[in-house]
Amino acid sequence: MTSPPPGQIIDGKAVAERLRGRLAARIATLPFRPGLRVVRVGDDPASGVYVRNKDRAAAAAGFDSATIQLPAETREADLLTLIEALNLDPAVDGILVQLPLPPQIRPDMVIAAIDPAKDVDGFHAVNAGRLATRQPGLVPCTPKGVMHLLREAGAKLAGARAVVLGRSMIVGRPMAQLLLDADCTVTIAHSRTRDLAAECRRAEILVAAVGRPEMVRGDWIGDGAVVIDVGINRTPQGRLVGDVAFAEAAVRAAAITPVPGGVGPMTIACLLENTLEAALRRRGAVT
Ligand SMILES: Nc1nc(=O)c2c([nH]1)NC[C@@H]1CN(c3ccc(C(=O)N[C@@H](CCC(=O)O)C(=O)O)cc3)C=[N+]21
């Protein structure tokens, strides 16, 4: 027996580049530059690369983008005051506060303070509610990026069995909503799911978003599945790995995203897409 041919590797970097190109072309036709403000409190290492990549991509596509760096000791009240000023600033279309925040700041209070019209992360309860009730709103960047990748990979979504591994507010839950809106049969599996491996094996579309390095093994993948790896984990050696054991999974999957170069670049491109969308919507243009 020879092993089956390895699956298609979904090039998230290339898909993100094309999306950013389309956004740049659109912005070039506008009489204004969409404004994005990223707020970073302290220097959580997970956010470092992200902030740098974001700044570079935003500037190249024609956004008016800036990162506001605050000291790790910043008080919650002072962060809320800054958010209020950004809410009121007409030049600002999108506000993103980097998570995680230092322990003295409650993330729920911060997210609730952001004007839902400028909430380009899509984390505010108003935007989560809009997604749950199928109203137009700002959709979280990572799940939105995953939908782009699934379509680019030619995955057949209607009627497909989709398993989302992870139930976070940021990825798992909104991901399940978007797959459901695309007519998938959706299962949300998580740390308390009985026989996780068997549940995953049934998936025609598997989205792994648990934040555990290489937890999903090759024998968890059904033949011909499309596998999207949302995890970005740094090993003690400094290497980036996903939530999926890539080499093992790739021989079974019809298509799979790598880490790095998969979902990560799409998250940034979708942040920019959301910022443009917010800018147009705030000015009364329909998108
Ligand atoms: N409010 C908020 N929203 C976020 O969306 C958010 C956040 N806070 N805090 C931090 C995490 C992390 N995150 C990443 C996005 C892209 C890459 C990315 O582009 N990664 C590259 C590789 C980068 C590298 O080489 O390290 C890739 O996967 O190919 C990484 C990490 C967004 N986050």
Active site residues: 54, 98, 121
Is 14's C-beta closer than 6 angstroms to any atom of ligand 1?
Answer: no
CA–centroid distance, 24 to ligand 1, in Å, is 21
Q: Are 206 and 172 in contact (CB under 8 A)?
A: no
Interior angle at CA 107, CA 102 and CA 111, nearest 5? 140
Among protein residues, the one whose CA lies closest to atom 26 of ligand 1: 49
| Burial zone of 106 (CB within 10 Å; 0-12 exposed, 13-18 middle, 19+ buried) | exposed
CA–centroid distance, 49 to ligand 1, in Å, is 7
**CA-CA distance, 145 to 269, in Å (whole number)?**
8
Q: Which amino acid is at 244?
A: V
Q: Which amino acid is at 122?
A: G
**CA-CA distance, 157 to 152, in Å (whole number)?**
12
Domains of the chain: 32-117 (3.40.50.10860), 141-263 (3.40.50.720)
pTM listed for this prediction: 0.96
Among protein residues, the one whose CA lies closest to atom 25 of ligand 1: 260
Q: Which stretch of DSSP H or E encloses residue 40?
A: strand 35-41
Q: What is the pLDDT along the chain (287 residues), one digit of tens a residue?
A: 444 456 799 999 999 999 999 999 999 999 999 999 999 999 987 777 788 889 999 999 999 999 999 999 999 999 999 999 999 999 999 999 999 999 999 999 999 999 999 999 999 999 999 999 999 999 999 999 999 999 999 999 999 999 999 999 999 999 999 999 999 999 999 999 999 999 999 999 999 999 999 999 999 999 999 999 999 999 999 999 999 999 999 999 999 999 999 999 999 999 999 999 999 999 998 66
Q: Is the ipTM of this complex over 0.85?
A: yes
Among protein residues, the one whose CA lies closest to atom 13 of ligand 1: 50
